[in-house]
Amino acid sequence: MAISTIDTATVADADRLEFWRSTVCDQFVPLAVDPLESRMSRARVHATTVGDTLIRRIEGGPHRFHRTSSLVRRADEDYLQIAVARQGTTLVVQDGREAVIGPGDLVVYDSSRPFVFETSGPFAYSVCLFPTRLLPLTRAEMTRVTAIRFDGRYGVAAMVPPFLSALHRLDGEALVGPAAEAMTQSVGDLLVALVRSVPVQQQESTTHLHLDRARAYVARHLADPDLAPSQIAAACAISTSYLHRLFRGSGTSVVEYVREQRLQRCWRALGEPGDVSIGAVAARHGLPDHAHFCRIFRARFGMTPSQRRAAATGSGAAEPSAPRSLE
């Protein structure tokens, strides 16, 4: 979509609250939107979409935004979100944690679980909404970093505010095909880096060292269709049972992790220009059974591999497949 601005100043006072609530739910995710003042101040949203990434800037007076359990259950898409505070002080609550953020700070939160944003006065945020289905992160990894204050001046977090500022200026309609795919990948990579930049407890350091080694070995051997837990464990000089415990502790299993990495590689490859067949792409990443690949790809991403290629490369709109058919 092109850059657009939705402003409550364009509607009559009597219609302003309902208009604003509808705008917030349409442009972000469905929320309970409650202005914390007797007469609602002017509020507005600037919106653009870059590939699969929703970029928003929202401004207004004191508010409470609440993502309830019932709203979560009705969601069509889950997003991992980053909010960068540009103005005001905000309390953020999710997963049993609370964080207070001010200008220059940022916070990560997940639309698949309830959360609360409550501002103490006028506010402005830059917000990035990224589909969790495109992130090679476990649920445990994402849950570990929600409602934690990141200082936007240091570390990986320092890359986020200027990056979002640049994305605000991109016209999503002018950025299509491979360029949009590359930008989506860049946003996803930055999110992964931010999530994984959170220090682990000292007593977990050895565990994470083994887990990192196992993940690195998997990354180097995804093309091997026979890649097995016993092979990974032997390469890392640990027992197979300990390898399984490591991955269970991270919120997934060895088999699920390997499958996810293969699917992520195939997703990326099918978004790039080229005439390599879909079957060859899958085989290159350890998935030589074409029917099986099509089935798990559609289950993971909600589209068939050919639909993914057509949408990403502009090679023509692919018709949605029947629910039980394979390519």
User: Selecting from 1.10.10.60, 3.10.520.10, 3.30.565.10, 1.20.1090.10, what CATH number does the domain 203-313 have?
Assistant: 1.10.10.60
* Domain locations along the chain: 4-196, 203-313
CATH of domain 4-196: 2.60.120.10
Query: Measured between alpha carbons, how far is 34 from 196 in angstroms, rounded to an integer?
Result: 33
- Stated length of the chain: 327
Rounded alpha-carbon distances, angstroms, from residue 171 to 4, 162, 166, 176, 305: 9, 17, 11, 10, 27
Which amino acid is it at 160?
V
The token duo for 112 is 């698949």
Q: What angle do CA 38, 40, 42 make, to 5 degrees?
A: 155
Give the pLDDT of the chain (327 residues) as one tens digit per residue.
Answer: 568 999 999 999 889 999 999 999 999 999 999 999 888 889 999 999 988 899 999 999 999 999 999 999 988 889 999 999 999 999 999 988 888 899 999 999 999 999 999 998 999 999 999 999 999 988 888 998 999 999 999 999 999 999 999 988 887 777 777 888 888 899 999 999 999 988 754 334 445 678 888 999 999 999 999 999 999 998 887 888 889 988 888 788 999 999 999 999 999 899 888 889 999 999 999 999 999 999 999 999 999 999 998 887 776 544 343 333 222
DSSP lists the bridge partners of residue 150 as 106
Task: Indicate the pTM of the whole model.
Answer: 0.69
